[in-house]
Amino acid sequence: MRSVRVGWSVLIAAVWCSGCASARHREPAQREGVFTERGGIILTGSALSDGSGTVLAAMSGKVPNFRVQRRGGRCPEITLRNNVSFTRDNVNPDVYIDGTRATDTCILDTIRADDVDRVEVYPQGFTTRPGYGTQATGLILVFMRTG
């Protein structure tokens, strides 16, 4: 009788653990126009043209761990990862518009989302795309619509 109880216990534990493992490896639900690729979060199409106005507004709520703080008349302070432990004054990610590095994050608050084809966000701060630097606080690459 004891071996039957042990057998059922092992079976129940195996089923429970397999359920945990499959839940852990499941891909997060993909929103229309938002997906992951090469370590980055990509926003295209309807994710950018949902009537949010600026690129910064269109990104909010669509990029995991994306937080924006506004202080006085300064540029938005953007955080792309949890547990930021930087002691520098500037913890913002580097922003590139069509391959050209912007001087600050204010540009994301001035570009209309309707004028943008694609935004790539790299929270870890590096991309395999040639021509871009690395930044410990992340990268935001904006590609404008042509024509």
- Identify the band that residue 147 occupies on the pLDDT scale cut at 50, 70 and 90: low
In a domain, 1, yes or no: no
Q: What does the pLDDT read at residue 43?
A: 95
In tens, the pLDDT along 100-131 reads 999 999 999 999 999 999 999 999 999 999 99
Within 13 Å, how many C-alpha atoms sit on residue 25's CB side? 6
Higher pLDDT, 99 or 25: 99
Higher pLDDT, 17 or 147: 147
User: For the stretch 30-60, what's the b/e string if a residue is b when 16 or more beta carbons lie within 10 angstroms of its beta carbon?
Assistant: eeebbeeeeebbbbbeebbebebebbbbbbe
In a domain, 9, yes or no: no
Domain with 138 in it: 30-144
Total structural domains within the chain:
1
* pTM for this predicted structure: 0.75
Q: What does the pLDDT read at residue 84?
A: 54
In a domain, 51, yes or no: yes
CATH number at residue 65: 2.170.130.10
User: What are the structure tokens assigned to 97, written together?
Assistant: 């518009």
Share of the chain above pLDDT 70, in %: 71
pLDDT surpassing 90 at residue 50: no
In a domain, 18, yes or no: no
User: For the stretch 67-104, what's the b/e string if a residue is b when 16 or more beta carbons lie within 10 angstroms of its beta carbon?
Assistant: eeeeeeeebbebbbbeeeeeeeeebbbbbbbeeeebee
In a domain, 131, yes or no: yes
